Each structure stands twice: as C-alpha cells, then as structure tokens.
Amino acid sequence: MKKLAVLGSTGSIGTQTLDVVRTHPEQFTVTVLAAGHNDELLQRQIEEFSPELAVLADEEAYQRLRARYHGKTRLAGGRQAFIDCAAYEGVATVVTAMMGFAGLEPTMKAIAAGKDIALANKETLVVAGELVTKAAKEAGVKILPVDSEHCAFFQCLQGERLDTVQKLLLTCSGGPFRGKKTAELTGATKAQVLAHPTWDMGAKITVDSATLVNKGLEVIEAKWLYGVSYDQIQVVVHPQSIVHSMVEFIDGSVIAQLGPSDMRLPIQYALTYPVRQSAPYPRLDFWKLKDLHFEEPDTETFKGLRFAYEAGRAGGTAPCIFNAANEVAVAAFLAGRIHFTDIYDIIERTMNARDVYRVPTLDLLFEEDKWARAHAEKLLESHA
C-alpha cells in the first residue's frame, strides 16, 4: 500500500487523484488531505478516506470544519500547517495539486523529507526549476509529472537516452479562441474564456489555456524536467487533444503518446510508475477518429506563450516575475476587474519593470514574487 498526501485535494486534479485511489483501493492509502478553503468538500473526503491528517490553509475554513467534525482524523489549519503536512511521516508520494506559487514551499518541504513528488503544480518548476531539480537529485527523490503533456514526454522517453532527443513537441489545444485575432478578444466574457473545448479544468488554468500562458508555463517546466534547451521545445497546436505530446529523435523518428482527454490517466501513471496498471477509463476508438490536425501557434495574438519563452530564456528571476504577474492578472479578470486582453498588458509591463537576478536563492524568489504581485496590483488601477 502506497501512502499518499494529496495537497489541493478539493481542486480539479485533487478530486481526480482521489478517483484514481477509488479505482485502486488495494494499492493506495490516503494518509494526508490538504485543501485551501473548501471545508465542506474536505469533510466529505475525510469521511470517505479516513486520513490520519487533514489540513485547511484558510484559518476560517479550518475553524468551521473543527466545529463540525469530531471523528478520528486529526485536523490542522493555517498556511504553515499546509506546508508542514507535505513532510508527514510515512507518506511515500506527495501529490502537489494546489495552484500557483503557493505550491513551492510545500514541494520543497516534501523533497527535503525524502518524498517522491507527483507534480501537478507546474509553477514550482517555472519559478524555481534549478533549485527544485537540484534538491530532488540531492535527496534522491523522483519528480513524476502529472500534466498530460509532460506525462506524455515521460512515457515517450522510457528506455531512451536524453542525448538522442532532437525536439520535444509540446501539444496545445489552442483553447476556446483558436483562430481569433486580438480585436475579437477584447470583450471576451468570463463564460467564453472558461468554455474550454476539450478539457475540464479549474478556472485559473482554463484562463491560462485561453491566453496560452499555460502552454508557456509548460515550456519552462519541460526545460527543467528533461534538461533540454528552449530551442528544443516546439509548441504545436492540436485542437483534438488526442496526441498529448511527441518526442522527435536525432534520427528523425517521432514517438507520440495518445489517449482520451482524461487527467486520471496521467495521474494514475505517475502514482503507479514504473508499473502500468489497468484502468476503467474511456478508450480511443481509432475507427471513429476522423482527423488529427496540427498547426503553428499564433504568438502575436496569444502573447502568453511568447512572454514565457522570453522569461525562460532570460532565466534567473524572470520566470518568477512572469508567473506572479499572470496570477494577479488572471485573478483580476475572474473578478471582473479587467478585460481578457488586459492580462497580457499586466504581464508585459511587470516583466519590463524589473531587472533579472541571474542566480536566485529561494529567499530572493519569495521577495521577487512579492514585488511582482504588488507592481501588478498597481498596474490594475490603470485598467479600472
């Protein structure tokens, strides 16, 4: 029985992780559940999975749960409790399913405690890729990618040498506005942005998919997971979301990983690796598969991908600034404070306002994240 800690258990990836556990109850024990503020759903998860520890980062949510729940699971609340639970004794794998920069500290805590990481929190590698991968190597722990695209690379590379890789072909659905131009996107509504054509995801990542920021984050993540250069990472728009990514080798061969648009598949692969387990999830029917279409991304309209390449190539603290500005801008859009296309303006102006520190420490990254968020918040005033 593999003991799991699921951080972000009430979110999209967290709930689908628990679906995988339900499918294989003989293999997994949920030892720790941790969430942000959804105390009602967390309580239902506690009652079903009986973890040893359950944590709510939000103090008010923790107090609500504490007043209602009187079972055997130990409860804890607050940001520090959320971080500390990543190192819970006996846990073998920590599923980092929380969103954003907030995932960095608990991930580093888990690595220091010798836990394998099932990584769904891509911002951890975007912001601190060099520090995280170095810490994982020194601790002898595995970072197993949960993103469908990076899990695809991981599967395609099994048994292959990284020095034979010519190119990582990172697929991208194109989001709900594929083919649109900037003039058509200015008045895009929240409902339109959140209507993703192929994936069912949380609000923040769905907005990132529409701006292509999410694909940019995955480009930076791929650089750190696989040790390739940015010139070796090519984004390919594939609206059907059947081919989850491909690897081109130096002899011209291309290996692709295909599957339904179901996040439970990469989650299960990360949790059961190196063993591939059976699963009751939907299968591809190649007799009914009519078309697989590929095209070049439009980085003039969807600037998020271009900004990510610029930040990644600049290195150091630049990806941290890029990520922080995007998190602030997306939250503002979802709150109705700015237009969809204003997200790009906030990101670009924040990135241009800060010099890059080439060799960041963890403390410096926290300082830069704080600065970028404050600067982006000031910029929001000009869009009010």
Q: What percent of the chain has pLDDT over 90?
A: 94
- The pLDDT assigned to 196 comes to 82
Query: For residue range 91-139, what is the model confidence (pLDDT) as tens digits?
Result: 999 999 998 899 999 999 999 999 999 999 999 999 999 999 999 999 9
- The pLDDT assigned to 331 comes to 96
Please say if the pLDDT value at position 199 is more than 80.
no
pLDDT band at 265 (very low <50, low <70, confident <90, very high): very high
Please say if the pLDDT value at position 180 is more than 90.
yes
pLDDT band at 229 (very low <50, low <70, confident <90, very high): very high
Residues ≥6 apart with Cβ < 8 Å to 218:
122, 147, 149, 150, 170
Side-chain half-sphere of 134: how many Cα atoms within 13 Å? 6
- The pLDDT assigned to 35 comes to 98
> Which of 365, 328, 317 shows the shortest CA–CA distance to 108?
365
CA angle 119, 155, 231 (to 5 degrees): 80
Helix (H, G, I), strand (E, B) or coil at 54: strand
| Separation between Cα atoms, residue 368 and residue 375, nearest integer Å | 10
Please say if the pLDDT value at position 61 is more than 80.
yes
- The pLDDT assigned to 202 comes to 81
Please say if the pLDDT value at position 197 is more than 90.
no
| Separation between Cα atoms, residue 190 and residue 74, nearest integer Å | 39
- The DSSP line for 302-331 is SHHHHHHHHHHHH-TTHHHHHHHHHHHHHH
Please say if the pLDDT value at position 271 is more than 80.
yes
| pTM score of the predicted model | 0.94
- The pLDDT assigned to 186 comes to 87
Please say if the pLDDT value at position 344 is more than 80.
yes
Domains of the chain (ranges, CATH numbers)? 2-145 (3.40.50.720)
Please say if the pLDDT value at position 198 is more than 80.
no
Average pLDDT estimate for 286-312:
95
Average pLDDT estimate for 285-307:
95
| Largest distance between two CA atoms of the chain | 63
More confident residue, 49 or 187: 49
- The pLDDT assigned to 200 comes to 73
Average pLDDT score over the chain: 96
Please say if the pLDDT value at position 317 is more than 90.
yes
Burial class (CB in 10 A: 0-12, 13-18, 19+), 274: exposed
pLDDT band at 56 (very low <50, low <70, confident <90, very high): very high
Residue type (1 letter), 149: E
